[in-house]
Structure 1
Amino acid sequence: MKIILDENLPRALKRYLSVSEVTTVQEQGWAGVKNGELMARIDGVYDVFLTSDKNLKYQQNLTERKIAIIELPTNRLKLLETLTVDVLPGLKTRGNSCGCYEAG
């Protein structure tokens, strides 16, 4: 499973995601790229996009996307540490289903 973290999440979150491949928007050199362009770049390349952007689902047409988008309730690492325990099993069983899901 390939996961990419939005730039609004702490990079340190990576260490709590024990899946095959985790990267960040910043590591890919895409910091500052607008949501529409970012979705085009990551769709079909990554399996899951983690974000805390509450407006993404309202600003973008996500119906044709091949990527699962998980909206996390916060970007505070201390709270996300415990949330990853709940989110990871769902990611593994969700398979190839797409859409925007709220976590937490």
Structure 2
Amino acid sequence: MRLLLDENLPKRLKQDFPAHEIFTVRDKQWNGVTNGELLKLMLAEGFNALLTFDNNLQHQQNFTKYTLAVFVLNAPVNTYAELTKLSSQINAFLTAGNLPIGPVIIKTR
């Protein structure tokens, strides 16, 4: 699967998804692109999912227009030490292969 890490996530998080093709917003040179435009670019380039720390994204976009999963990571802070704890939940969705469309809140159990 093709995954994109939003610019609000540490790039080190890429190492938690070795079985997938994963890029950061910076890798794609999409820094500063608005959320709606970012989702359009992702569709055009064949991405399957966005990982973000932006809890407002789920309320700002009409996801019926996009066929992407958006994993909204919910943790006290957006450091690798905290966010890596959520990676197994995301990997479970990715392994199942049937990604939901739209936002999925991923938080510590």
Question: Shared fold (TM-score greater than 0.5)?
Answer: yes
Counterpart AA for 2:7: E
How far, CA to CA, are the matches of 2:10 and 2:65 in structure 1?
A: 28
Q: Deviations over 1:43-99 (max 9, x none)?
A: 251011000101111111112211111000132210111211222112221524311
Q: How many aligned residue pairs are there? A: 104
Of residues 71, 77, 81, the one that matches 2:80 is 77
Query: Structure 1 stretches of 5 or more lacking a match?
Result: none
| Equivalence for 2:41 | 41
Identical pairs, percent: 34
CA distance in 1, matches of 2:91, 2:98: 12
- Equivalence map 1:93-104=2 (5 Å): 93-104=96-107
> Residue 6 of structure 2 contacts residue 25 of structure 2 at CA under 8 Å; is this kept in 1?
yes
Distance 2:103 2:30 in 1: 21
CA–CA distance in structure 2, aligned partners of residues 97 and 80 of structure 1 = 21
Q: What does 1:15-30 correspond to in 2, within 5 Å?
A: 15-30=15-30
- The residue that corresponds to 1:86 in the other structure is 89
What is the Cα-based RMSD across aligned positions, in Å?
A: 1.4
Gaps of 5+ in 2: none
* C-alpha separation in 1, matches of 2:62 and 2:31: 21
- Partner Cα distance (1:30, 1:4) in 2: 11
